[in-house]
Structure 1
Amino acid sequence: MDEFEFAFRPTHVAPAVGMATWAAPDPARPSVRLDALLPVRLIARQGDWAQVLCSNGWTAWVDGRLLIALPDVPPAAGAPPARTADPRPALADVEGVLAQYRSMLESLATGALDLESFRDQARGLRVGLVVDGEALWVFDPVHDRWCYCDGLQLQTYAATDRASPAPSATPAHSPYAPTRTGEP
C-alpha cells in the first residue's frame, strides 16, 4: 500500500450515546466526544483503554469497554430481493446537507452571517458518509442509524433507540427502507 493510501475498515462503533475521548490513555487529558455510532478501527489496547482510528485519520483513546464490536466483514447481500433499498436518496441527503453547510460557511467567511447565527443554523445538521471501494456506510439522521450498502442493497448496520424507543409492528416510512414488489 502506498504511504498516502488510506483504507478504512471499521472494527467497532461508538455507543449510542457517543463517547468521550482522550489524547493519551490518561483521564487528565480529555478531548472531544465521538458521535453516536461512529465507525472506528481499534488499533491498540492498554488495559481498559483503546486507541481508535476514525475514517478521517484522527486517532484518540477511549474506554475500550464501551466500544461495540462489528462483524469481521459487513453483512453481504445474498440474492437481491425483488426490489432493494436504493442508496441514492441517502447520498442525495448527504449532498444536500453538505451544500447547506458549505453555503453557511461561505456566508460566514464573507461576513454575511455572524458566528452566533452560523451556530444556530448549523445546530441539528448531521451527516456521515464512508465510501471504501464498493462499500458504503451512510448515516440516516431521520432514524438515527448507520446504513451499509454493498452495491446491491442498503440495510441498517447500527441503530440507536433514540428515534424509536421500541420496535413497532408498523415501521415508520424511510426513504432508505426497502419496499416489496407491488408496493409504491
Structure 2
Amino acid sequence: MTTSGFRPTHVVPRHGLPAWEGPDPTRPTVPLDPLLPVRLVERRGDWGHVLCSNGWSAWVDGRLLVAVPQDPPAADGPEGRAADPRPLLARAERALARYRDAVEELMGGGLDGESFRARTRGLRVGVVVDGESVWLYDPGQGRWVYGDGTRLSTYAVDDAPAGKPGRAPARTVTPTAADPGCAPTRVVTPDGDR
C-alpha cells in the first residue's frame, strides 16, 4: 500500500528486480519485490534511481521497470507522443514472412538443412498477442516491448545495465506536469551544467 501523496510512475516486473546502492554493479542491496510500485526519479544511462512508497530508494536496471499508465493529458495541455507500435509490427511481419518462405522452400525440397540454416541465421522475431495487449521483440534494440494498441514500453531487455557513475548524463524525470510538487524536468550533465 502506498502512502498519501506518493504517485508511482512504474512497477517492478513480476519476477522482482535486483537493486544496488548506487549505479554500480559492485554495490548490490536487497532486491525489490515483484509488482512493487516505485517512482523513477533519475536516470543515468541504463540505470534508474527509484523511490519506494516507504521512502527507501535504490538503483535498478531502469529498462526493466514497467510504466504505470498516467492520466490522459488535459485538453488544453500539449499533446504527448508515444512510441508507435506499427513500425515494429511491420518489421515482425516481414521477418515472419522470410522465415515462412524459407520453411516452404525447405519442405518443398528447394533447400537443404545447411542452406536453411544459412538463410535464417540472425533472423529474430517474437510476437505475443493477447486481446488488446501485445508483446513484440525489437531485435534492433535487443528488448521486448509491451503495447496496448497505442503505445509501447520496454518490458524486458537482453543485456545487463551499462554505464558507469559520472559517465552518462543524469536526467531527472518528472512523471506528469499535473503532479503537484514536481519541478520541471531538467537535464544535468556530469559536470553539473544544465
Normalising by structure 1, report the TM-score: 0.48
Larger Rg: 2
Higher strand residue share: 2
Normalising by structure 2, report the TM-score: 0.46
